[in-house]
Amino acid sequence: MPTAFILGGTGQIGRAAAARLAGDGWSVTLASRSTAAPDGPWRQIRVERNEEDSLQQGLGDGADLVLDCIAFDDTHADQLLALEDRIGRLAVVSSMGVYRDAAGRSLGTAAERGFPDFPVPIPEDHPTVEPGPEGYAAGKVALERRLRDRARVPVTILRPGAIHGPYGRDTREWWFVKRLLDGRKRIPLAYRGLSRFQTTSTEGVVDALLHGLDGRGCQVLNAVDADAPTVAEIGRTIMDLMDRQAELVGLPDTPTHPPGLGMTPWSVAKPMVCASSVPRLRTYADGIAPTIAWLVEATRDVDWRVVLPQLAAYPNPLFDYDLDERALALPGAAPIGI
């Protein structure tokens, strides 16, 4: 029986990977700082990677596959490399945020330099930002480069987009779900609701992981949905699933990013759409239903900030309905046709 060790195993991606691997006959160990494991046919252990020897002891005799869902920089890469004599294959979760455009702009510099102008779609060999200790994307690139340069075992680097799936701590879909639960009848959307910011289901990440199991050397895979819906399309999909309807109102384009009004977690001035060498099985609409059902149930009689603490920490106000009313009154605001 093949063995899998998932670091960050009780998180959003870790749970999805554990369920699929266990269902395929793998012996799965979930490693995390949490002592509360989801129910399932797996073993759960506590690992704090910043505690000396914690990861080494948790891995024990090793595993055929180590999936690291929470690696962020080259120091984490070094931790994994120190254990590769016990690892058959290594996979790490990176991000589509590593890409840069021809002018050197990235997601991380969008507020200061304007939103990057990417090709549509972005291929897996597209240039990235430079590695370094400062910033999320630079750290992820440092992680990727260290593994690509030094790993002796096969490595799969997974680059997802805007992740959706149950158990997320920053699930973007709540932006629409809460408005619908609150009875909002008109919802303003920046950039006329036409923004396309690549989405990824947790199941899609697992699809890419499994696709890469037969590969050799180091492979980079964009782990993304089969489509990249507009914000308006995302809203309509969620409304249909919830059987609640609202009028979507497009706001006039603005040259700034982020926009001052109608800002959603997917609102971008220019499209960010990724190509992938992975056969993509699910569109956004195919995979989003479990997320919506989980959001509605998980926030029932519970402060949503407890369920979604990372979303609650977003710097821009997500649910200021006075701002929504101001946006709806803007000259040029118009209903978005179906």
Residue 36 pLDDT: 67
In the sheet that 334-335 helps form, which strands lie side by side, from edge to edge?
186-189, 247-250, 334-335
Q: Evaluate whether residue 44 is within a structural domain.
A: no
**Burial degree of 1 (CB within 10 A; 0-12, 13-18, 19+):** exposed
Contact 234, 160 (CB under 8 A): no
For residue 275, give the CATH number of its domain: 3.40.50.720
Q: Evaluate whether residue 57 is within a structural domain.
A: no
| Helical segments of the chain, H only | 12-23, 54-59, 74-81, 110-113, 136-150, 174-181, 202-211, 231-242, 284-287, 289-298, 304-307, 309-312, 321-328
Distance (Å, rounded) from C-alpha 127 to C-alpha 117?
Answer: 13
Please state, in angstroms and as integers, the Cα–Cα distance from residue 15 to each residue in 27, 111, 165, 166, 295, following that order.
14, 33, 10, 9, 16
Terminal-residue alpha carbon distance, the chain: 50
Residue 281 pLDDT: 84
Q: Evaluate whether residue 138 is within a structural domain.
A: yes
Residue 237 pLDDT: 98
Distance (Å, rounded) from C-alpha 318 to C-alpha 297?
Answer: 20
Q: Evaluate whether residue 60 is within a structural domain.
A: no
Tokens, residue 302: 């519970």
HSE toward the beta carbon, residue 317, CA cutoff 13 A: 8
Distance (Å, rounded) from C-alpha 172 to C-alpha 292?
Answer: 10
Q: What is the pTM of this model?
A: 0.96
Which residues face 220 on adjacent strands? 157
pLDDT in tens, the chain (338 residues): 999 999 999 999 999 999 999 999 999 999 998 766 677 899 999 999 988 889 999 999 999 999 999 999 999 999 999 999 999 999 999 999 999 999 999 999 998 999 999 999 999 999 999 999 889 999 999 999 999 999 999 999 999 999 999 999 999 999 999 999 999 999 999 999 999 999 999 999 999 999 999 888 899 999 999 999 999 999 999 999 999 999 999 999 877 777 889 999 999 999 999 999 999 889 999 999 999 999 999 999 999 999 999 999 998 889 999 999 999 999 999 999 86
Distance (Å, rounded) from C-alpha 179 to C-alpha 121?
Answer: 31
Q: Evaluate whether residue 183 is within a structural domain.
A: yes
Domain hosting residue 79, numbered range: 71-327
Q: Evaluate whether residue 56 is within a structural domain.
A: no
Tokens, residue 283: 């569109």
Tokens, residue 99: 């890409």
* Type of residue at 85: D
Q: Evaluate whether residue 171 is within a structural domain.
A: yes
Q: Evaluate whether residue 261 is within a structural domain.
A: yes
Q: What total number of domains does the chain contain? A: 1
